[in-house]
Amino acid sequence: MTDINTQLVTILNRVKRPGNFYATGKADLAMPRIEVDGVGSIALPLLPQQISQLVQVAEQAPYGKGEETLVDTTVRKTWQIAPEKVHISGKYWQTMLDGIVTQAVDGLGVTGEVHADLYKMLVYDAGSFFVNHRDTEKADGMFATLIVALPAVYTGGELRIEHAGHSVALNLQADDPSEISFAAFYADCIHEVLPITSGCRIVLIYNLCRSGKGELPQPPDYQRGEQAQAAACLSQWVTMEHTGEDIPLKLVYLLEHAYTPEGLAFDALKNGDAAIASVMIPAAAQADCDLYLALVSVEESGYAEYSGSYGRKKRYWEEDDEEDDDDFEIGEVTEEEQYISHWQTPQGTASTMGALPFENEELCLPERLHSLAADALHFHEATGNEGASFERTYRRAALVMWPRAYRADALSEGGVGVTLPYLTDLVAQWQTAGGEHEREEAQHFAEGVIANWQDDSGHWHSNGQGTPTLSRLLNNLIPLADANLIATAITRIPMTGKSYQREDNPTLLAALAVLPDQQARQLLTELIQQRAATRLAAGGQLLRLALPRYAQETTEPFLPAAQALLDNLANPAPPTHFYQALVPLTVESVVDLLIAIGKVDVALGKQAVVHLLAQRQRFPMDDSLIPAVVLAAQASDYPPEVLALLQQQCLAYLDSCISSPLAAPADATREATIECSKVWHKDGKTDCEALKRFMLDPNETSWNFVASADRRDPLEKIADQAKLDVSMTTLKSGRPYTLRFVKTQASYERKVAQRQRDEGNRECLLGLRLGG
């Protein structure tokens, strides 16, 4: 930890923490009437003969393992009765229960309205127990478990509770039958029930839940001293030069208790955590720092080692390949990822910010990360060449803060997945409040976002879905109507090779509309020129969409942009990596380029047609150019002379195709465009030559190739790859099997279908009436 981390921890260690991780006590028992379906009224203390009756109507209690609910009497051996089968009445029962709840929440240091919901009745007969476990939060607002032990005679059954290095052992057996014992503890506490050695223990289990949104516990007056000291510490931190090395960009104060993502909120913090938050919220505001509640996650993976006994004999119920997590132990951690997520504001709202990485130097009380058991631990058996492995996740709640003056630097470490949602929140706050201060805050943060922008396409958290990131940025800048910010964003982001897609164009034009027209024209031209090599389709569409507004008087300012598009259409930039292919242009993109270039200059548009025709493999007539003519003719902005030229060339191509003779095969001879000399497989060349002779034989229509699979399969693949006019069927009678070849007229049928398409396309093109 740095000096700032240490100072803050020292200050916050002096904060009084109300309550404890558990509460226990006794209450006078006003004898209630307790009835259980199938048993009737039960006596208190419990009579021995009623133990077997309760067990008969109960079911074996399960336990949770990850997302599973399992029954395993080596982990939990006790009986449960559902709450709907338990009926409790009596004049003073509810009053007594309310008193117990009040004592429990006071002991836990919780304020606000709390109610207790009956979860189940548990019956621990002789030999029953429950090993170390942690309760799940089973109801909305649940934060703790309450155990009410009914009068009974038994030995053993001690309740042990552990939390953050502290532990307690409780005996809930009341000495006086007119008393009732209880214990309450936070849901994230590890606890166990030791075995019952004799008699029977019967308890009622309640979920303690907040009613609505409670308020943070109020610290005593002397905590104002800690608040002032914390504010002074943060203020000193704010004035330092935040390099991210000696002086951390953000501070992450790990909290004591565990929280689920669903239960994470400032007003749901537990005792000591609530007290710390009540100090830090005003201290951060006073020091001009942002403060969030969030979840800190550390995900580890690596090698696992087998720790079971190789000589252990399998039990009769175990599968041969059955392994348990207990058979493995963690070896070496080889990969680790740590990040902060699930952001909550002190005002009670959730932020849409994504995952933000953090450094160990930014942590306060880093030992708390591993003070509880891992939230998830999975072992994977060895497979193939891969040895056994494990995956482990630690998750802790934390208060996360950074100086507002450096918020863009702090958040930029998480990329646009963090900075853009934050900017959206700031703009929304300004739009709601309407104040100049809020607007300046949003503008200042936007400047930092633009300055720290990284191309999102390769960012570790980027999912490639949703609105493009450049559009998301510009959608936040447009309401601010800051022309300088918009110009800076366009100059520094898309123009320098970052974060620009065809889908950004409508938003890009909306942002440029904030600028003077002359400046917008200049930026448009520069952007298209800079990105024509890598974003040819996007540039073509952008120019086409921009012309109606910015070229009403003359298209001359856009000649450089049109020329850049033409040059890159004629000579496309090669892929940057050997495994990449040239990105194909869709029919829509071809239309955009033709119209954009042709509207700027007809001569350039006609050159574009020439270049399209010269790249027949990249722009095939049937799949690209003919559909482009039809689509462009439906638009209102096409250049007639340019489109007419392409129409003429397409018609000439179709006339040539249609004039070619077309006749069905006169005999059984079929094309055999295969090179047997290149077949390397054993016996492959001989088999290939036999197939070729069959295809060229004018009389034979079928051929049975009898051979093993290692010869049949390669020959079948050769025929498939060459698209020979044969059908192939494996006849599985006799040994070896037979691969039967039957000649077809597939090539001729394809030519007939193509001729029909050619005639249809010719008729369609002739029906177009293009001006010019």
Can you give the CATH number for the domain in which 704 is found?
A: 3.30.1370
* 682/617 same-domain check: no
Rounded to whole angstroms, the Cα distance separating 264 from 249 reads 24
Question: Is 772 domain-assigned?
Answer: no
Question: Is 318 domain-assigned?
Answer: no
Cα torsion through 39, 41, 45, 51, rounded to 10: 0
3-class DSSP state of 41: strand
Q: pTM score > 0.75 for this model?
A: no
How many domains does one find in the chain? Answer: 5
User: What's residue 223's pLDDT?
Assistant: 56
* 171/116 same-domain check: yes
User: What's residue 241's pLDDT?
Assistant: 66
Angle at 432 between CA 431 and CA 437, to 5 degrees: 70
Low pLDDT (below 50) residues in the chain: 215-222, 309-323, 458-465
User: What's residue 245's pLDDT?
Assistant: 56
CATH of the domain at 91: 2.60.120.620
Number of Cβ within 10 Å of residue 575's Cβ equals 11
Number of Cβ within 10 Å of residue 532's Cβ equals 24
* 427/279 same-domain check: no
- List the structure tokens of 179: 């008393």
Question: Is 527 domain-assigned?
Answer: no
Rounded to whole angstroms, the Cα distance separating 259 from 297 reads 12
User: What's residue 48's pLDDT?
Assistant: 84
* 170/205 same-domain check: yes
* 348/484 same-domain check: no
Question: Is 757 domain-assigned?
Answer: no
Q: For 272-340, give the DSSP string.
A: HHHHHHHHHHHHHHHTTEEEEEEEEEEEEEEEEEE-S-TTPPPPTTS-TT---GGGEEEEEEEEEEEEE
Question: Is 535 domain-assigned?
Answer: no
Question: Is 344 domain-assigned?
Answer: yes
* 35/176 same-domain check: yes
104 touches 147 (CB < 8 A): no
Question: Is 93 domain-assigned?
Answer: yes
Of 391, 414, 437, which residue constitutes the final position of a domain?
A: 414
Number of Cβ within 10 Å of residue 576's Cβ equals 7
Tally of residues, the chain: 772
Of 148, 178, 210, which residue constitutes the final position of a domain?
A: 210
Question: Is 520 domain-assigned?
Answer: no
* 47/153 same-domain check: yes
* 406/421 same-domain check: no
* 348/229 same-domain check: yes
Of 192, 210, 228, which residue constitutes the final position of a domain?
A: 210
Domain that holds residue 572: 550-661+762-766
CA–CA distances in Å: residue 192 to residues 195, 350, 514: 10, 35, 66
User: What's residue 400's pLDDT?
Assistant: 96
Q: Cis ω on the peptide bond leading into residue 45 (within 30° of 0)?
A: yes
* 279/408 same-domain check: yes
* 135/183 same-domain check: yes
Q: Report the amino acid identity of residue 736.
A: P
* 439/579 same-domain check: no
